Every structure is written in structure tokens, then in C-alpha cells.
Structure 1
Amino acid sequence: MAKSLTDAERGNALAELAAWQLESGGKAIVRTYRFPGFRAAFGFMTEAAIEAEKLDHHPEWSNVYREVKVRLTTHDAGGLTALDIELARRMEAIAAGRLAA
């Protein structure tokens, strides 16, 4: 089972992931992506799903037209783990070329 991050580890990770916010209670990180349109949003979700499968770690997310809301937490660990941070990093890399200006 994955181990929950310490406060220091969480702080260091979030310094690198500036667009992500720590959810109240510190057990998850959240981010809303806004893309130019539905095709870009759905393409992002498709690529992110492949990365999530590779990590065997899956996001809580929703999509409405050009917006994708993501929440990352590790339920088995009861909070934020290195898996969440790694998936967030991969999502950032995927989104980089798709985001609306």
C-alpha cells in the first residue's frame, strides 16, 4: 500500500504543481483544466487515462464541454501519496499543449 505524504513532502510537491490546490483537510489535490473546446478536453482525458492505467492509479474527474475537473487522492492510504503527485505531473505534461490561452 502507498504511504501518505508528510506535510513537508506535500508542500514540496505542491510548490512544483502550482496550478493544483490542496483540498481542505489535506487529503487530496484538485485542479480544473479549461481547454479550447470539447475535442481538446476529451483528448486530454484519453491520454491521461492511459497514464493512469500505467500507474494503476485513477483520478476522480468530470468533464463538461471544455472543462475537466480533477481530484487526486489515494483511498487505500487515506490521503495524498506519491502516486497522486506523479499522476498530476503527467497530467500537466499532457495538458501543456492543449490548454486555452
Structure 2
Amino acid sequence: MTVQKLSELGISNALKLLNSETVSPWVIKDGKLTKLFQFKDFQHAFGFMTMSALYFEKKNHHPEWSNTYNKVNVQLTTHEAGGVSEKDFNLAKRMDRFAG
């Protein structure tokens, strides 16, 4: 199945919908769907990353991310599509659930 890069309008609409369901917003930064998650401590941040990593592997779609103590910075893009796709928004929704 071919994954399509979303248009600017498609990204804007999907971003509005995604952010209507979360407290801290996702943004487009450097052409990627981006969010900084902040947790109580390192253990919670690492637990979030572990749950997310297992799901990503199952979906064969992986983030660009980094962790510093209680913070996890995430950037999502679909390399095969050459930009942000619906797959990225689906992962973002799942990550918000894991973080909650």
C-alpha cells in the first residue's frame, strides 16, 4: 500500500483535530509532526518510550525521538511519502494515549 504525503491543507485539518483531543499541542516543525512530552520523572518517560517502541515496531513506522530525564522530544514523518502522512497522525494519537 502506497502512503501519500498530506497536503498543507490536509496537515492543517489533521493537526486541528489531533490537538482538539490533547492538552499539550502537536506542531509542525522542520516539516515534521513534533511534540515535547514531559513526565513526572525518568521512569515514566522511559515507560512511555517502551510502550511506544513496541507499538511502532508492530506498525513498522518509527519516530525520530530523544530523551533527557523526564522529557521526550518526538518528531514524526513518513520517509517513504517524503513528508507527513496519515500514518504520522495515527502514531501521534497513540502516543498521546500512552502518555495519558
Q: Structure 2-normalised TM-score?
A: 0.88
Q: Which amino acid aligns with 1:5?
A: L
How far 1:6 sits from its partner (Å)?
1.6
- Counterpart of 1:22 in structure 2 is 28
Which AA in structure 2 matches 1:4? K
Mapped contact 1:52–1:58 kept (Cα < 8 A): yes
Task: Give the deviation of 1:56 after TM superposition.
Answer: 0.8
Deviation digits for residues 63-87 of structure 1, max 9, x if unmatched? 0100000000011111000110100
1:10 and 2:11 are equivalent in the alignment: yes
Q: After superposition, where does 1:1-101 map in structure 2 within 5 Å?
A: 1-18=2-19, 19-24=25-30, 27-96=31-100
Unmatched tracts of structure 2, length 5 or more: 20-24
Distance 1:89 1:14 in 2: 11
Deviation digits for residues 14-42 of structure 1, max 9, x if unmatched?
01222100114xx3111000000000000
Contact 1:55 1:83 in 2 (8 A): no
Determine what percentage of the aligned residue pairs are the same residue.
Answer: 43
TM-score normalised over the length of structure 1:
0.87
One-letter amino acid matched to 1:11: S
The letter of the residue matching 1:34 is: Q
Tell me the C-alpha RMSD between the 2 structures: 1.1
Deviation at 1:52, TM superposition (A): 0.8
